[in-house]
């Protein structure tokens, strides 16, 4: 039952003055600000504040409008916070077909959008949608974020993690196409129909590529070479080096810009297989096997040496410098190794005339007429000459030698006939005898192996 009345109401709580209202009222409905009932023309009322505040406090004014002065974050401030899906014109969600709008309570209005994240259909730039995942996780569990992107926090390997693994040809950005257009499918396979100039990953070495997947034209001397996603060589597992690492090693004649030496007249170049291109070099170079160039520049060349190593080995560096560290005896060291040399540097003393020493450490005796120490003939003051040694060391007692000066060397012989010591199998030695002759004389004969007592009138006792 309704009555038309003019009512004057004095409201004392929450209002600053008198409110004069006229109209039609019922016993159980009111549209008066301050009655604690939220009406259509009110934002809020006593105890009724429908707008949440995420930071601070939302209040209601005396005229039933929002008081946002003490609220730092709320729906309507233009910032998406709290559980808001949007805020005014701030709509970050993407609608693939149609348009999103934002409601007064900061929720997305999807009525005008027919294709959006959350509709359970993967479309547009979406990687996933709800429970629908386009990719599979190879190690762990893959889920979908609220913005329809993959949540790989619990998955170590999947298509979409922008890391190419397993059978993936790409993941995210496609490889560079040298001419044309290339793309990466959502399943991490390559769409290369529009790429006419080739690309890194097709297994064919082209353009600037040094390798392509398993197509590796270079051999690692020790270990294994890998090929990265930019078709560049990965030498990490190749400690032995390879042709192309700018270091000459193994059987390489050169490596990139690393050449064994300068061309003395012209230009040297290095081929892709690390062999030398000598077509432009006419004046010789270090590595041609010939000692040439400015005198003294090359000490050796490859296996060509100016001297002879009798025991051990010479080595020749890639810069044609000789290393005799491993050579124990060589012509030119100033020591006469009688096993191989007649002289070393200086010729031997000639007893009549002159003897000189050849570069190969042999004796030039063309002007020597009187013989010399080293000709194998005992003459003059010589005790021996080379292998011509008149005294022998008893068997089992060492070796007798002849010095470079043709003198006997018994350093390594502990018993021999002539040392004036009775030892070894000797019954006598020079003037020493194991017996004596009382009347007459005795002699030591046959290399100190017998006593000749034929001139002794009384037997040697």
Range of the domain at 47: 3-74
Residue the block writes with tokens 């890639």: 318
Residue-wise pLDDT tens digits, 154-173 = 988 888 888 888 788 888 88
Pair of tokens at residue 306: 């100016």
Residue finishing a domain among 74, 106, 122: 74
Query: What does each C-alpha distance from 433 to 397, 450, 458 come to in angstroms?
Result: 20, 10, 15
Pair of tokens at residue 427: 């019954």
* The total number of structural domains that make up the chain: 2
DSSP 60: E
Domain assignment present for 393? no
Report the DSSP beta bridge partners of residue 117.
none
Domain assignment present for 275? no
Domain assignment present for 382? no
Q: Is 458 helix (H, G, I), strand (E, B) or coil?
A: coil
Report how far residue 189's alpha carbon sits from residue 160's, in angstroms, rounded to the nearest whole number: 11
H or E stretch at 233: strand 233-234
Domain assignment present for 174? no
Angle, CA of 295, 296 and 302, to the nearest 5°: 105
Residue 27 pLDDT: 45
Report how far residue 173's alpha carbon sits from residue 231's, in angstroms, rounded to the nearest whole number: 16
DSSP 345: S
Q: Strands 432-433 and 428-429, how do they pair? A: antiparallel
Residue 28 pLDDT: 47
Query: What does each C-alpha distance from 277 to 105, 135, 304, 402 come to in angstroms?
Result: 79, 53, 21, 54
Domain assignment present for 396? no
H or E stretch at 226: strand 226-227
Domain assignment present for 309? no
DSSP 94: P
- Residue pair 117/93 in contact (Cβ under 8 Å)? The answer is yes
Instruction: Determine whether 138 is exposed, middle or buried from the number of CB atoms within 10 Å of its CB (0-12, 13-18, 19+).
Output: middle
Walk along the chain (461 residues) and give the pLDDT tens digit of each residue: 333 333 333 333 333 333 333 334 444 456 789 998 988 889 899 899 888 888 899 999 999 999 999 998 888 889 998 888 899 999 987 787 888 899 988 998 988 888 888 888 888 778 888 888 877 787 888 899 988 888 888 988 888 888 888 788 888 889 889 999 999 988 888 999 999 989 999 999 998 899 999 999 988 999 999 999 889 999 989 998 999 999 988 888 899 999 877 788 889 999 989 999 999 998 888 888 888 877 778 889 988 898 889 999 999 987 888 999 999 999 989 988 888 998 999 999 899 999 999 999 999 999 999 899 999 999 988 999 988 998 888 888 899 999 888 999 999 998 888 888 888 888 999 888 888 888 888 899 888 889 888 888 877 76
Domain assignment present for 457? yes
Residue count of the chain, please give it.
Answer: 461
Domain assignment present for 328? no
- Residue pair 298/320 in contact (Cβ under 8 Å)? The answer is yes
Report how far residue 228's alpha carbon sits from residue 106's, in angstroms, rounded to the nearest whole number: 48
Residue finishing a domain among 74, 102, 120: 74
Q: Dump strand ranges (E) for 246-296.
A: 269-270, 276-277
What 238-245 contacts at long range (C-beta under 8 Å, 24+ apart), as own/partner pairs, is: 242/218, 243/218, 243/219, 243/272, 243/273, 243/274, 244/210, 244/218, 244/274
Pair of tokens at residue 384: 């021996």
Residue finishing a domain among 74, 106, 123: 74
């Amino acid at each position: 039952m309704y009555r038309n009345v003019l009512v004057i109401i004095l409201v004392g709580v929450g209002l600053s003055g008198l409110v004069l209202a006229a109209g039609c009222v019922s016993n159980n409905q009111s549209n008066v600000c301050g009655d604690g009932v939220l009406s259509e023309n009110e934002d809020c009322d006593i105890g009724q504040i429908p707008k949440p505040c995420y930071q601070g406090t939302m209040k209601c004014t005396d005229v039933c409008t929002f008081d946002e002065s003490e609220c730092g974050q709320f729906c309507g401030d233009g910032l998406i916070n709290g559980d808001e899906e949007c805020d005014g014109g701030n709509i970050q969600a993407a609608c693939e077909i149609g348009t999103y709008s934002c409601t007064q309570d900061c929720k997305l209005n999807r009525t005008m959008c027919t294709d959006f994240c959350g509709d359970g259909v993967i479309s547009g730039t979406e990687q996933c949608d709800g429970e629908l995942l386009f990719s599979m996780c190879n190690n762990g569990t893959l889920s979908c974020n609220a913005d329809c992107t993959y949540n790989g926090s619990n998955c170590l390997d999947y298509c979409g993690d922008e890391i190419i693994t397993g059978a993936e040809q790409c993941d995210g950005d496609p490889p560079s196409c040298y001419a044309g257009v290339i793309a990466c499918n959502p399943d991490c396979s390559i769409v290369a129909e529009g790429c006419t100039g080739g690309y890194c990953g097709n297994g064919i070495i082209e353009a600037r590529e040094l390798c392509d997947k398993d197509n590796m034209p270079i051999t690692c001397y020790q270990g294994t070479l890998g090929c990265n996603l930019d078709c560049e060589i990965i030498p990490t597992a190749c400690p032995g080096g390879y042709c192309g690492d700018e270091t000459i090693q193994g059987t390489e004649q050169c490596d990139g810009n690393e050449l064994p030496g300068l061309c003395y007249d012209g230009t040297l170049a290095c081929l892709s297989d690390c062999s030398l291109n000598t077509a432009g070099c006419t004046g010789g170079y270090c590595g041609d096997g010939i000692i040439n160039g400015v005198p003294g520049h090359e000490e050796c060349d490859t296996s060509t040496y100016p001297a002879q190593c009798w025991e051990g080995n010479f080595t020749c560096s890639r810069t044609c410098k000789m290393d005799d560290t491993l050579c124990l005896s060589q012509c030119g060291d100033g020591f006469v190794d009688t096993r191989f040399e007649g002289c070393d540097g200086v010729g031997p003393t000639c007893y009549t005339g002159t003897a000189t020493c050849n570069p190969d450490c042999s004796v030039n005796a063309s002007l020597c007429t009187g013989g010399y120490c080293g000709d194998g003939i005992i003459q003059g003051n010589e005790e021996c000459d080379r292998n011509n040694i008149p005294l022998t060391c008893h068997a089992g007692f060492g070796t007798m030698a002849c010095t470079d000066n043709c003198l006997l060397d018994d350093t390594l012989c502990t018993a021999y006939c002539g040392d004036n010591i009775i030892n070894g199998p000797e019954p006598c030695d020079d003037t020493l005898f194991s017996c004596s002759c009382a009347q007459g004389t005795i002699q030591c004969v046959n290399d100190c192996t017998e006593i000749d007592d034929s001139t002794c009138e009384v037997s040697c006792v």
